[in-house]
Amino acid sequence: MLKAATGIQPKKHNLKGRHFLALADYSGEEIQYLLELASEIKAMHKQGRQQPLLQGKVLGMIFEKSSTRTRVSFEAAMLQLGGHAIFLSSKDIQLGRGESISDTAKVLSRYVDGIMVRTFGHEKIESFADSSSVPVINGLTDEHHPAQVLADLLTIYEKKNKLKGLKLAYLGDGSNNMAHSLLEGAVKTGMDISIGCPESFSPLADIEAAARAEAEISGSKVVIEHNPAAAVSEADVVVTDVWTSMGQEEEEQKRFSILSPYQVNEKLCRYAKKDFMFLHCLPAHRGEEVTADIIDGPHSHVFDEAENRLHAQKAVLTALLS
């Protein structure tokens, strides 16, 4: 179990009714509990055992950003847990026609047992959660992607058999949601983290400050490094993400020129440990943020990582809704 990795005696945590907006909102023990629960649920799934943990529960899913993995993994998770999921495009509900966030949240709370929201600004999901009487789960915002990083942590533990003491290096746009949630998740679980990024793409100051404060407690190290080779040096895990996210298309050429030195390729990965593992939340742009020989090579675990979205989200759904 993960107690061997973190040194924390595991115990069951009552998370029912909680929102899941950012990993910073959860303690290291609570994240560990979710990872242990995900491992147990995954084992049941692989054994073909029934998992009616959310029998009769309904999850509303609001999408203002399109998705492949988020929609399918959350919907499949609810169905496999015995519940049901309702897809709600912002174009098809009153939210897209001017109804206030507060009114939408209050109404949906009376119909469903939980609400997953995938949107742009993080303040929007926070406002939604403030008015919701049922758990709200962050399927992605511009600032945070906790559902993905929980799956990343699960994948790292499965491959490395520990989290505490490992070094994770993230290369690319340090101001995006993956960098922020990796910062939060790493320090909560005792991992060292190095963000390799241009100075103009550094993490948001408040998120970095909170991560550094948490690192003082967990014994982790947080480094913001503008030299990509130094960022990757002796890394156990190398992670990257696309350089241009949804809503940033007009900046694509500018971003490419600034971020190209941070491409994850064979030459850069020589600085990592020989048994490093590579992760990417997908979709990937081969030849941009990562070369094909890395993402399709022996160090890559991106499809195990993608599968673990299903199991990690089952854990969150079970813990919050059951």
Where is 198: in which H helix or E strand? none
Q: Exposed, middle or buried by CB within 10 Å (0-12, 13-18, 19+), for 33?
A: buried
Q: Which of 122, 301, 309, 311 is catalytic?
A: 309
Please, what are the domains in the chain? 28-144+309-321 (3.40.50.1370), 148-305 (3.40.50.1370)
Binding positions for L-ornithine are 177, 241, 245-246
Using the structure block, give the residue that is written with the tokens 């993995």.
Answer: 69
145 included as an active-site residue: yes
Is 281 one of the annotated active-site residues of the chain? yes
% of the chain with per-residue pLDDT over 70: 95
Assess whether 118 carries a catalytic annotation. yes
Stretch among 3-7, 56-60, 79-83, 273-277 having the lowest mean pLDDT: 3-7
Please confirm, yes or no, whether 197 is among the known catalytic residues: no
Catalytic residue (choose from 19, 45, 113, 148) = 148
Q: Which two tokens stand for residue 8?
A: 């924390």
Q: Which residues are annotated as a binding site for carbamoyl phosphate?
A: 67-70, 94, 118, 145-148, 281-282, 309
For residue range 15-27, what is the model confidence (pLDDT) as tens digits?
A: 999 999 999 999 9
| Active-site option among 144, 145, 280, 301 | 145
CB atoms within 10 A of CB 281: 25
Residue 249 has pLDDT above 80, yes or no: no
Q: Active-site residue among 113, 236, 241, 313?
A: 241
CB atoms within 10 A of CB 113: 20
Confidence grade of residue 95 (pLDDT, cut at 50, 70, 90): confident
